[in-house]
Amino acid sequence: MVVPALRKADAIVVFGAAVWPEGPSMTLRVRVALAAELHAAGLAPIVLCTGGRSNGSSEARVMRAMLLAHGVDAQAVIPDDGGINTRHALRSVQRFGEGRWRIIAVSSPYHMARIGSEARRQGIAVQLCPAPRPGPRTSRLLAFDARQYLREAVAVPAYAIGWQLETLLRHPPLSLAARAMRHAKARIGFLLRDADAVAATDAAISCRIKEELARVSDSETVMTPASGLRRPAQGPVGSRFGLRHGRLHAGIDLRAPYGAPVVSAAAGRVLLTAMLGPYGNVAVIDHGGGLATSYAHLAGFTVDESEAVADGQRIGFVGETGRTSGPHLHFEVRVHGSPVDPMAYLADPA
């Protein structure tokens, strides 16, 4: 592939494309291959994979696996499930880069106008790097591309209008009281709908841990790391373990910005990495002897199931997947599958 003349940047951002049940689309393959090539050429130290969900798979997660297969170092790859469209993807760029990243955007040629104009609106310094289609240009491919360009001709101005509307909605001409009332109503509805879904997910996680424990260990005693568990994300405790709005809040919430690293609270083995309803992206780590920890609402995972993890190893990033009112880490400690108060297990609870 021919790498266009580019200046060094802080991150290469690969935009997601379809993942079919049988595997990633050709569109996605060429984007990832180009990003790997740019990274190997030393153009940026980080590759951010941003996408939504495609036929039940996380596009970002599939992209990460492909980048690793291309020989990109695991530490250099950031998977982000928050990029459900161009605007959200570029917002993720702002959050991971704390508003300072200069990026190289890798997508298909027909998306470049939209990415360029949206980046300008968000104040992101961007170099556009279209990933060309490899192989012979059949009439079917040409027709597909023509349809994409036509779609973009509508999408680019629609994005600009959407931006104006969002700005207007963020500062609506409503009285403060009316706004507070609307917020309270939405919050109550949210909590009622939430309760059942959370209970179901909680039971699923518990069940999964118990199954695994029955398989690998028959130990009744619970091991606790001698030095206590490590705090998995840097940030203050927002919501504590216990009854909240009449139901059990099965863990603690650590307030940290979107994109902050999440690390394993102790050495162990990854039991589960999945998107589970209100928990969003959740990782469960088995520490042996009946003790497991779980990490919810992650933006993406940097480990895979059944991988061994060291104490303090990065497993993902703080995000807002699942049902959450903002970025934070929901952290649980489970003993034989049942949730216990993590504060009693943290080495440094303050």
The Cβ of residue 58 has, within 10 Å, a number of other Cβ atoms equal to 25
Q: Which is nearer to Zn ion, 61 or 330 (CB)?
A: 330
The CA distance from 35 to 67, in Å, is 8
In the bound state with Zn ion, the residue whose beta carbon lies nearer, of 238 and 312, is 238
Please list the residues that pair with 346 across neighbouring strands: 229
**What are the residue ranges of helices labelled H in the chain?**
26-40, 59-69, 86-96, 112-122, 139-170, 176-216
| Min separation Cβ 343 and Zn ion, Å | 13
Which residues are near Zn ion by CB under 5 A?
Answer: 253, 330
C-beta closer to Zn ion: residue 104 or 254: 254
| Six-digit token string for 301 | 């995972």
- Rounded to a whole number of angstroms, the minimum distance from the CB of residue 276 to Zn ion is 14
Q: In which residue are the tokens 């039940």 written?
A: 56
Name the DSSP class of 233: S
How many Cβ atoms sit within 10 Å of the Cβ of residue 324?
16
Compute the least distance from the CB of residue 279 to Zn ion, in Å.
9
138 vs 325, beta carbon nearer Zn ion:
325
77, 65 Cβ separation under 8 angstroms = no
User: β-strand 11-15 against 102-107: which pairing, if any?
Assistant: parallel
Considering beta carbons, is residue 16 or 337 the nearer one to Zn ion?
337
Of the pair 31, 330, the CB lying nearest Zn ion is at 330
Between CA 107 and CA 19 the distance in angstroms is 15
Q: Which has the closest alpha carbon to 131: 104, 107, 103? A: 107
Please report how close the Cβ of residue 213 comes to Zn ion at its closest, in angstroms: 24
Give how far Cα 317 sits from Cα of 102, 217, 314, Å: 20, 30, 8
Tell me the closest approach of the beta carbon of residue 295 to Zn ion, in angstroms: 11
Number of residues written out for the chain = 350
Helix-helix angle 59-69:26-40, to 10 degrees: 50
Distance CA 201, CA 7 (A): 46
Closest approach, Cβ 94 to Zn ion, in A, equals 25
Q: Smallest distance from the beta carbon of 252 to Zn ion, in angstroms?
A: 7
State in angstroms the smallest separation of the CB of 293 from Zn ion: 14
Q: Which is nearer to Zn ion, 122 or 239 (CB)?
A: 239
Give whichever of 202 and 253 is closer to Zn ion, judged by the CB atom.
253
